[in-house]
Structure 1
Amino acid sequence: MKSIRLKLKQNLVNYKLPTSFQLKETYPLPPYSTVIGMVHNTCNYIEYKPMKISVQGKYHSKVNDLATRYEFKNGMTFDASRHQIKVGEYGISRGVSNVELLSDVELVIHIVPEDENLIEEIFNAFKAPHEYISLGRREDLVVVDEVKIVEISEERIKDENLRIDRDYRAYVPVEIIDKKKVFVEGSVDTIQYKGTMYNLTKDYVSVNYGSAKSPKFFRKWNKIKVHYVSNIVASRRRAITVDEDRYMVFLA
């Protein structure tokens, strides 16, 4: 099976937690939906292309910064006493918020489209993008260190030397750890859940919760339960997915 492997760097970035508001907190690595959005934007796709993603990487530190915040209520007309911006008849409030940023981010991302014919198309889009590539917010620019088409396969590990980079962490779907394909070095066996658990968004379908005459569409997200862990070592004699350069791959 073929995959596109990306090695990316970012300076300051926010992968926003959807439940954070006053302080716009960030995930430690980009969730699957964010990566899929980057791929679709880079390739100019206007309809969803199913794909599997693996994400691992690291960052140096977290810092807080100020950002402009815009708020509006649907249908609220402009009121000079509370709104700073007028758009047509409607009002928008402008203020200050705090945003959490990761610094000096490095990422290794594997992309496996369901349609293998898209491999070359995605590869070429990242080799010669039509505009600058961003991951996270629109202003979170990406430096592409490597774009490579690699073969990935399942292998039974004969030794315990296969591990991710010591400084790196990864999103590992729970079933991979539950099936003991990998283990977290230094963890306590009696602890059921290793690392930090996340329910990461991947893709969605639009569901109409209204009626045919008055439709109200909402996104129903497909979420993947993962462990965010470091010190990942392949279990001996267990089949684990790796690429041709011996990078472990945790597809979801």
Structure 2
Amino acid sequence: MIKQVLKVKIYQPDAHYRIPFSFQRRFTYPIPPFSTVKGLICNIIGIRDDNDTRLNKIRDGLSLAIYGRYETLVKEYTWFRNLEKDSHKNRFHTAENRHLDGVPQHPGGQIPVTVDVLHNVNLLIYFYHPDNKFLQDIKNAFQNPSDRSSILHLGRAEDWLVINEIKLVELKRKFARQIPYFAWIPARDFVDNSFIVEAYEDFFNSLDGNLFRLPTFYDISNNQRIFNDYVNVKLHEGGSFKRYVFFVDESENDLPIILSKLRGS
């Protein structure tokens, strides 16, 4: 049995995939979460608002597998600025003042922040959609992102990327026993059933990795993002495991491709 998916290889010189609720020390995931890659797709095909019907195709049909490595992690020390009025007054004492020690300053308060930044990141991302035309549209957009809504990036706006390879590949059903990358491995309710393997729950339960509940889709309420869809996963940090049957990419040394839906069953 053979399945076809879109494979994209991405390089980033620097990247930060922020872990939510980390503030004065901003931690990063080692690979981008699903919502970050979903944002890249929306950007690259030119989705600009919630009324675009292609967003429903992403929500109800797109599946992802995300793998990656990085060379080093560096802690960058920087200043973050808060432009709220109370923060400005705490620093300058009055709303109108902008001088400290007789020297004019930028408005607002400021706080020292440490940001974890990954260097020399290499990502391997697989996309699947039951609508072959939509999958081809994504491939064409990667090859010619003329409809993009902003500069192509993953993570922060300044974390630009280089696309090293874009191709449709055929996955074959074979035995495999290792994933030599950081990878999000979805729980059973979030695996794309088109790519399910035998004894998947046994594989997932025995796999090393911390459990995460990653957000995927959100609504806007009072100018804030309220996430209402999540994917339950383990963060696998690379290594071998008991041999199972997977759909594998033979061109990547029989790498098991475990695709996650962006919404659970």
Same fold, TM-score > 0.5, yes or no: yes
Matches within 5 A, 1:26-45: 26-45=28-47
Q: Distance in 2 between matches of 1:248 and 1:39?
A: 23
The alignment-based identity, stated in percent, is 24
Counterpart pick for 2:169 among 141, 147, 150 = 150
What is the total number of aligned residue pairs between the two structures? 225
Q: Does 1:107 align with 2:123?
A: yes
SS of residue matched to 1:29 = coil
Match of 1:17 in 2: 19
> 1:99: Cα distance to partner?
0.4
Distance change (3 Å), C-alpha of 1:124 and 1:193:
closer
Counterpart code for 1:204: Y
SS of residue matched to 2:22 = coil
Match of 1:98 in 2: 114
Distance change (3 Å), C-alpha of 1:194 and 1:233:
closer
Counterpart code for 1:30: P
Moved more, 48-57 or 172-181: 172-181
Listed one character per residue, the Cα deviations across residues 44-66 of structure 1 (whole Å, up to 9, x for unaligned) are 11242322111011112211012
Distance change (3 Å), C-alpha of 1:180 and 1:66:
same
Q: Is the 8 A contact 1:2 1:116 kept in 2?
A: no
SS of residue matched to 2:23 = coil
Root-mean-square deviation (CA, aligned residues, Å) is 3.3
Q: Distance in 2 between matches of 1:82 and 1:6?
A: 53
> 1:72: Cα distance to partner?
4.3
Matches within 5 A, 1:43-62: 43-46=45-48, 47=52, 48=55, 49-50=58-59, 51-62=62-73
Q: Is the 8 A contact 1:8 1:107 kept in 2?
A: yes
Moved more, 224-233 or 99-108: 224-233
Structure showing the higher helix proportion among its residues = 2
Q: Distance in 2 between matches of 1:142 and 1:217?
A: 27
Match of 1:172 in 2: 185
Counterpart code for 1:251: L
> 1:78: Cα distance to partner?
6.4
Match of 2:247 in 1: 241
Q: Is the 8 A contact 1:180 1:235 kept in 2?
A: no
Match of 1:67 in 2: 78
Counterpart pick for 1:136 among 126, 130, 155 = 155
SS of residue matched to 1:67 = strand
Listed one character per residue, the Cα deviations across residues 19-57 of structure 1 (whole Å, up to 9, x for unaligned) are 100011101110000000011111111242322111011
